[in-house]
Amino acid sequence: MSEKIAIYPGSFDPPTNGHLDILARALNLFDHIIIAVTESEHKKSLFTVEERVKMLHTVTSGMQHVTVDSFKGLLVRYVKEKKASAIIRGLRAISDFEYEFQMALMNRHLGLKETASIETVYLMPSENFTYLSSSLVKEVVRLGGDIDSFVPESIAIELKKKLKYA
């Protein structure tokens, strides 16, 4: 039987405990997860792709069956290249659903042209993280708030350095 590989794409700017919660849940369903960092065209990133990949390497270093990578271009092409069968997405609230639904349908449509069907698997984070987003974490840091329960310590250090609160 072949290994079940899933891609967990996102900007991860920065990675949060919510992202790690989704990752842990996905590892219960798939043999291998590739965290795929991408540059978002419609978001101004605080960290470079390389910095985000490095942070994710740090916070996942003790996890088996996890690879961190980056990509450009169409996600479905990346999924095909990595021989993955699924895309992992986190759903925090109903407000996420419409966008995620549109993206899943587009990926499915494009995927049929590129390769066999690609499934999108939605996972809900722990209720402790349903309100958590990278944007919100950055805003809390900018305002001098405590983010220790939102991100791993190494991420908090990088955020404070980048935003000059260290």
Other C-beta atoms lying within 10 Å of the C-beta of residue 78: 21
Q: Is 134 a catalytic residue?
A: yes
Q: Which of 11, 85, 89, 134 is catalytic?
A: 134
Q: Which of 11, 19, 85, 138 is catalytic?
A: 19
Q: Residues with Cβ < 8 Å from 137, sequence gap 6 or more?
A: 14, 16, 147, 150, 151, 159
Q: Which of 25, 54, 82, 92 is catalytic?
A: 92
Q: Is 19 a catalytic residue?
A: yes
Q: Which of 4, 43, 83, 161 is catalytic?
A: 43
Q: Which class for 113: exposed (0-12), middle (13-18), buried (19 or more C-beta within 10 A)?
A: exposed
CA–CA distance, 32 with 147 (Å, rounded to integer): 29
Q: Is 142 a catalytic residue?
A: no
Q: Angle at the Cα of 30 (from 26 to 31), degrees rounded to 5?
A: 130
CA–CA distance, 132 with 135 (Å, rounded to integer): 9
Enumerate the active-site residues: 19, 43, 92, 134
